[in-house]
A and B are shown apart, each in its own frame.
Chain A
Amino acid sequence: MFQKTLGFRIFFWSFLLVIGFFAFFPQLWMISTSLKPATEMFSFSFFKYFDFSNLKRVLSDRTFLTYLRNGIVVAVASSVCSTVVSVLAGYSFSKFRFKGRKTVMALIMVSQAFPQGLLLLSLYPMMQKVGMLDTLPSIILAYIAFTLPVGTWTLKAYFDQVPQSLMEAARVDGSSEWRTMFQIIIPLAVPGMMTIAIYSFVWAWNDLLYALTLISSTANRTLASGMVFTFTGEGGNDWIGMMAASVIASIPVAAIFVFLQRYFIAGLTAGAVKG
């Protein structure tokens, strides 16, 4: 794409180093800190110590593992449900014409901008009334709702690309609407599905506000709010513990990412460009 002129080389290397440092030094700093013994917390040594006791401590903390498990459960559930709902809705917006379609589309898009903290104010008493407080489904529902706009939009864009001729051909063959949808069209949108699956996963994984407010028992707590609990408190903050926990919490998800990133980006390709 670019000619490797001298100017380009300078551009390439200088930004590679600067942005690389910006992106990776904090990551390394985090890992390096988690490997330090508690007494060295504030020394500026960098990978001088390889004390795994912090990491071991976090891993053997049953409560933390509960938080981690809940976090993954919620993230996966949100991811799957959000994808399914978005596929159905996106397909509907793309392939069907009916009254009110544009209005619903518009409403869902605009809903992204509604202040989520504000919605929480009404959702809390609502959840309280139906007895869903302190349950994982309550926050899963919230996460699905917040990732719907991006999800339906992405999948709609994908389905838009499926040529009408393909649909006609399927119909001529005698397949019902449902069969057309499931066997033929949806498989074509897999990259888009991967994108929204990952997007909702990260959303649910990272959320603090809803998890903190709607979940109150240790058994149901998720990762982000669990970390607030465990490492900050009336008595002060446990920096090293938090860094160790962050490393542990990030490893599984990071591993998945490094391997699946190809799909994530591919999913962003076709749909994104056509817009």
Chain B
Amino acid sequence: MNRSTRNQTLMGWLLLLPAMAIFALMIFYPFINSIFISFTNRNLLYAKSAFIGFDNYRKLFSDPNTLFLIWTTVKFVFLATLMPFAIGLIWALLMNQKFKGSEFVRGLTLVNWIIPGIAIGFLWSWIFNGDYGILNALLGKLGLIDKNVIWFGGKQTSMLAVVTARTWQMFPWYMAFIMGGLQGVSNDQCEAARIDGVNNLQMFRHVIIPAIKPVLILILLLGTIGNLQHFDLINVMTGGGPERATSTFATEVYKKAFKEYSVGRAASLGVIWAMMLSLFSIFYLKRIKED
């Protein structure tokens, strides 16, 4: 190795040290430790635990609820990513028209994102409440319903409530990214397309979308990962119910570990989840691969 390469290597690693230290300590070590725990019957209440081999995994695979859990997670992640994405996209296009006050409106929209998640959870639990929520009051006054709808009682409607709250919280974030991307759409391209005689819809499909495609793919990926981890709103609004209709991997791992005290079982659930995600991540990595 010549001097310059050695310098490169040294410098490179040096700069990386803080990140690697934090990563090793806070993520790598706990993850490896979790794998070990998944092979034990570790319980939060007791200090001692015993090695039980693949027992936890066996129990998980033979439990019919596990498959349903995967399905519900996929359903939630899909809806909770798609909805705010769509609304964020439309809103970004609207804000991009740069009308008077659009910057202020834009900023005000971002406020949704920074309101503490627990407050959002309670706010939307309140709105959707069957007996004293404003949604039912409105629907009742408009004559659309003749009996209070118990939104959190139904499986589909609970999912609707949770996805709505998450959409409200996250669409500003999608909007911001897309707006960033829209700034980069060159005017020349638009001019050229106009001269060619395209209409608005064609402009959207053939000029704008291709120009911001990298951004769109990026935020869909980041959004998906964020929703896979998401826990707060579901926990506050439905606790994963009713009948597990809104239970995702994240809420279930928490419940198993901190409420039911089955740390070993929770760990095995988490490991399965991580394995499934590595498949997904390989796809993500291919996306950012370069030289």
Cβ B203 vs Cβ A261 within 8 A: no
Cβ A239 vs Cβ B22 within 8 A: no
Q: Decide yes or no: A144 and B212 within 8 Å by CB, A3-B200, A117-B250, A257-B107 being known contacts.
A: no
Cβ A227 vs Cβ B184 within 8 A: no
Cβ A114 vs Cβ B274 within 8 A: yes
Inter-chain contacts of A30 with B (CB < 8 A)? 115, 119, 123
Cβ B284 vs Cβ A109 within 8 A: yes
In B178-236, the 8 Å CB interface with A consists of: 179-181, 183-185, 190, 194, 199-200, 203-204, 208, 211-212, 214-215, 217-218, 222, 225, 228-229, 231-232
Inter-chain contacts of A262 with B (CB < 8 A)? 103
Cβ A121 vs Cβ B180 within 8 A: no
The smallest C-beta distance from B192 to any residue of chain A, in angstroms, reads 13
CB closest chain-B residue, reference A93: B16
In A91-112, the 8 Å CB interface with B consists of: 91-93, 96-99, 101, 104, 106-112
Cβ B31 vs Cβ A119 within 8 A: yes
A contact face: mostly helix, strand, loop, or mixed = helix
In the bound complex, what is the Cα–Cα distance between A124 and B54 (angstroms)?
A: 24
The smallest C-beta distance from A170 to any residue of chain B, in angstroms, reads 15
Chain A positions 195 through 217: 1 when the CB is less than 8 Å from some CB of chain B, otherwise 0: 00000001001101100010000
Cβ B19 vs Cβ A227 within 8 A: no
Cβ A224 vs Cβ B37 within 8 A: no
Q: Decide yes or no: A88 and B273 within 8 Å by CB, A123-B30, A262-B103 being known contacts.
A: no
Assign chain B's interface to a size class. 35 or more
In the bound complex, what is the Cα–Cα distance between A208 and B255 (angstroms)?
A: 15
Cβ B203 vs Cβ A121 within 8 A: no
Determine whether A223 belongs to the interface, using a CB cutoff of 8 Å to chain B.
yes
Instruction: Show the binding face of B for A, using Cβ within 8 Å.
Output: 7-9, 11-13, 15-16, 18-20, 22-23, 25-31, 33-34, 37, 87, 90-91, 93-94, 96-97, 103-119, 122-124, 126-127, 132, 134, 137, 168, 171-172, 176-177, 179-181, 183-185, 190, 194, 199-200, 203-204, 208, 211-212, 214-215, 217-218, 222, 225, 228-229, 231-232, 249-250, 253-254, 257-258, 263, 266-267, 270-271, 273-274, 277-278, 280-281, 284-285, 288
- Report the 10 A-B pairs with minimum CB-CB distance, sorted nearest first: A268-B180, A96-B12, A118-B270, A258-B107, A122-B30, A246-B119, A275-B214, A145-B26, A92-B15, A89-B19
